[in-house]
Amino acid sequence: MGTDFFMSQKQELLKILSLIDLTSLEATDSESSISTLVEKANEGYQNHYPAAVCVYPNFGNFVRSNLKNEMSVAVVAGYFPSGQTLLHAKIAELESVNKTIAEEVDIVINRGLALTERWDDLSNEISAMRKAAPHKKLKVILETGELKSADLIRKVAEISISSGADFIKTSTGKSTVGATKEAAEVMCEVIKTHAEKTGKKIGFKPSGGIRTVEDAKLYFSVVNKILADDWLCPELFRIGASSLYDALISELKHADNK
């Protein structure tokens, strides 16, 4: 294989790297472990960096103060990962997040409301969290592995967008089933339809079980096929991952040694 092939492969890998929300959401996270994550993000690869670092909200200001400015800070909220608590507690959490210097917040829906088709309640919860953090980019996690059909995923995606989502996201990474190609296709179709009707572009973030370069390429191809080139940028497409980042760096070093 010629040099052009490996250069093309390298550019694809660098593009995927620039779409990653480099994530740590473990019960054992500490300032020390998050510092290591930030150092990894800041190092990047040949002046290419992840789109964001995603952490629990108590680390948001710490990450922002130590992360290079070209990357964003995302924190999780909405009683992550279950989505099960009192609405006023969720609102209070989002209000607290809104006072931090993190730029983005990933909230998780109450899947019980979706599974019992309490659409107004679901919409009201998302809208209330949106209003509580008006200055943050809002990514709404559907937890598609716990939804039972493509029709249900489609309905929840539509409600999330109409209730204020800037992005819709597949998974918390904490359920048995994370991102799937089928869920990604449904969500991207909803985003496409919304853009055609309103002219507004909503972002897409697959997350949960995306560990290999081939996994990432799968979702890259889904977005490219359904939403096309306009979405292949950090403003509209993120990949939530942790171990994927290390796999990408390894592949890039391999490509450079060819």
Which of these is catalytic: 106, 155, 166, 215? 106
Which of these is catalytic: 136, 166, 169, 215? 169
253 is annotated as an active-site residue: no
CB 133 within 8 A of CB 98: yes
229 is annotated as an active-site residue: no
Please report how many Cα atoms fall inside a 13 Å half-sphere around the Cα of residue 84, on the Cβ side. Answer: 4
CB 63 within 8 A of CB 54: no
246 is annotated as an active-site residue: no
Distance between CA atoms of residues 244 and 17, nearest Å: 9
User: Which residues are the active-site residues?
Assistant: 106, 169, 205
